[in-house]
Amino acid sequence: MNYRNNPAAIDTLVRPTEVHRDIFISEEIFELEMEHLFANTWVYVGHGSQIPNSGDFYTTTVGDQPVVMVRHTDKTIKVLHNRCPHKGVKVAGDACGNTGKFFRCPYHAWTFKTDGKLLSIPLKKGYDPETFNDCEASHGMAAVENVRDYRDFVFCRLSPEGQSFDEFFGESLSTLDNMIERSPEGKLEVAGGVLRYMHDCNWKMLVDNQTDTCHPMVAHESSAGTAVRVWEEAPEGTPKPMAVEQFAPFISSYEFFEGMGIRVWENGHGHTGVHNSIHAAYSEVPGYLEAMNQAYGHERAAEILANTRHNTTYFPNIMVKGPIQTLRIFKPLGANKTLVESWTFRLVGAPDKLLERTLMYNRLINAPTSVVGHDDHEVYERSQHGLHSRGREWVNVARLYDPDEANRKNEVVNGTSEWQMRNQYQAWARYMTATMKEST
Ligand code: FES
Ligand SMILES: [Fe+2]
């Protein structure tokens, strides 16, 4: 099927309770996602604490677009397309650093202010000002117009037209708020580096998995289950290791996950762990509650800490865990190639033990060295292969479907519902086709 300039064909790929395999395996669909979906949505770029000083920069990608996030001289954050307007060289080559007051292209030394404006060209007399001013290059590096720094979380929308940031995220921002408020100073800092690992599967399989509560007790039985069994053989009185505290909830019962609840927001966002979660029963860290009580008062502190949301999916491609302060990005590299980045945050003003817990969780669960992560990795790759089978065409997301759900907003339902997955795929079709022109 030809999908380019064919929004009607894209729409046929998402049914109320099924999605077509092409959305995971077609290279053409992948290209269209890069052109449309990742331009029409607000995509996470990075965190302000990665670039605290003027001139600090961080290079990354939005969809397949190379960008550089930089702290400008006026301290605001700019997101620039990382592309020299002269011959196309990526101007910022390092993952991060400080560029001072300007970027300098390594090829012919054109320089650009940190808002992208062209600053200087060596031997400029070689350019007739009139002709040159008519050239695109005279405008310097292209700055992304729609950038939002939400309490240090930086997002951008590449498409000049579209939904506003507030409209796109709505109430879902409450998960970021809660993660921030878990710091007695209301401030987070990226800490502990980033763990990256490559998956031979489509990026949407990872997004889908974030609210898949019917898999942990099955896929993770061999890893988390073994950890718990080993722990059960420990001599009586042995203090429970932090790792066991983090592993054990993965093999909770179906009833536990049903009772957790899932909240579904508009535009593809949603979260598991409304009433309870796998992060709800961690042991207390000495000094933390006192610091929170002092900062917020008893009532408010209790309210913040009682909010133990499990996974919040921010459509299209990040997942945030407020209670353990991690953020994962599912970076699309190809129809069957995804780079996962796992970022961790320090709660400024909280005891160091909390960061230790965050880092341990990240290594145990979300890293290339993770035990649990390989269970998921294996099933993603097997799905990517399996979907090439011509025996069946559709992927099923019918669990606890309610035909009326399209008319309901911001609701909490049974924790094993696949409503959030349906929500994502419907948002997928909408943002894919929003800027697609019908072929004539
Ligand atoms: S390519 Fe950047 S200065 Fe020539
Ligand atoms: Fe998993």
Q: What digits encode the pLDDT tens for the residues 192-243?
A: 999 999 999 999 999 999 999 999 999 999 888 888 888 889 998 888 888 8
Are residue 316 and residue 423 in the same domain, yes or no?
yes
Cβ 40 vs Cβ 434: under 8 Å: yes
Q: Name, in order, each residue with C-beta under 8 angstroms of 286's C-beta and a sequence gap of 6 or more.
A: 351, 353
| Domain termination residue (choose one: 135, 150, 165) | 150
Are residue 144 and residue 260 in the same domain, yes or no?
no
| Domain termination residue (choose one: 106, 135, 150) | 150
| Gap from CA of 416 to ligand 2 centroid (Å) | 14
Ligand 1: atom nearest CA of 87 is 1
> Which of 87, 90, 104, 136, when mutated, tests ligand 1's pocket best, judged by the most ligand atoms within 8 Å of its CB?
87
Ligand 1 near 105 CB (within 6 A): yes
SS3 letters across 77-132: EEEEECCCCCCCCCCCCCCEEECCCEEECCCCCCEEECCCCEEECCCHHHCCHHHH
| Gap from CA of 146 to ligand 1 centroid (Å) | 26
Looking at residue 50, what DSSP letter applies? Answer: G
Domain-located, residue 169? no
Domain-located, residue 368? yes
Residue 246 half-sphere exposure, CB side, CA atoms within 13 Å? 19
Total structural domains in the chain? 2
Cβ 55 vs Cβ 99: under 8 Å: yes
User: What pLDDT is stored for residue 440 in this prediction?
Assistant: 52
CATH number at 281 reads 3.90.380.10
Are residue 195 and residue 281 in the same domain, yes or no?
yes
| Gap from CA of 90 to ligand 1 centroid (Å) | 9
Domain-located, residue 25? no
Instruction: Give dist(CA 105, CA 89) in Å, integer.
Output: 7
User: What pLDDT is stored for residue 175 in this prediction?
Assistant: 98
Residue 358, H or E segment: helix 352-365
Cβ 283 vs Cβ 257: under 8 Å: no
Are residue 368 and residue 226 in the same domain, yes or no?
yes
| Gap from CA of 87 to ligand 1 centroid (Å) | 5
Ligand 1: atom nearest CA of 85 is 2
Domain-located, residue 19? no
Q: Name, in order, each residue with C-beta under 8 angstroms of 260's C-beta and a sequence gap of 6 or more.
A: 213, 272, 273, 274, 275, 276, 277, 310, 415
Are residue 201 and residue 145 in the same domain, yes or no?
no
Cβ 191 vs Cβ 344: under 8 Å: yes
- On the question of a cis peptide bond just before residue 316, with omega within 30 degrees of 0, the verdict is yes
Ligand 1 near 89 CB (within 6 A): yes
Are residue 203 and residue 294 in the same domain, yes or no?
yes
User: What pLDDT is stored for residue 247 in this prediction?
Assistant: 84
| Gap from CA of 357 to ligand 2 centroid (Å) | 19
Are residue 142 and residue 212 in the same domain, yes or no?
no
Looking at residue 35, what DSSP letter applies? Answer: I
Are residue 128 and residue 179 in the same domain, yes or no?
no
Report which bound ligand comes closest to the CA of 214: 2
CA distances from 14 to 175, 274, 359 (A): 28, 27, 38
Ligand 1: atom nearest CA of 91 is 2
pLDDT cut 70: percent of the chain above it: 100
Instruction: Give dist(CA 213, CA 414) in Å, integer.
Output: 10
Q: Which of 439, 440, 438, 428 is nearest to 36 (CA)?
A: 428
Domain-located, residue 144? yes
Are residue 100 and residue 219 in the same domain, yes or no?
no
| Gap from CA of 215 to ligand 2 centroid (Å) | 7
Are residue 313 and residue 185 in the same domain, yes or no?
yes
Residue that is written with structure tokens 């009532």 in the block:
299
| Domain termination residue (choose one: 101, 134, 150) | 150
Domain-located, residue 416? yes
Are residue 242 and residue 185 in the same domain, yes or no?
yes
CATH number at 50 reads 2.102.10.10
Ligand 1 near 394 CB (within 6 A): no
Ligand 1: atom nearest CA of 109 is 3
Chain-centre distance of CA 22, in angstroms? 23
Name 61's bridge partners. Answer: 66
Domain-located, residue 440? no
- Average pLDDT for runs of 10 along the chain of length 440: 93 98 98 98 98 98 98 98 98 97 98 98 96 96 98 98 97 98 98 94 98 95 88 89 87 94 96 92 93 98 96 98 97 98 98 96 89 92 97 98 90 95 98 83
| Gap from CA of 365 to ligand 2 centroid (Å) | 8
Instruction: Give dist(CA 406, CA 69) in Å, integer.
Output: 37
Ligand 1 near 107 CB (within 6 A): yes
Ligand 1: atom nearest CA of 89 is 1
Are residue 48 and residue 96 in the same domain, yes or no?
yes
Domain of residue 269, residue span: 174-431
Q: Name, in order, each residue with C-beta under 8 angstroms of 434's C-beta and a sequence gap of 6 or more.
A: 36, 40, 162
Domain-located, residue 155? no
Ligand 1 near 262 CB (within 6 A): no
| Gap from CA of 138 to ligand 1 centroid (Å) | 12
3-state helix, strand, coil in the chain (%, to 5): 35, 25, 40
Residue 306, H or E segment: helix 298-306
User: What pLDDT is stored for residue 241 in this prediction?
Assistant: 87
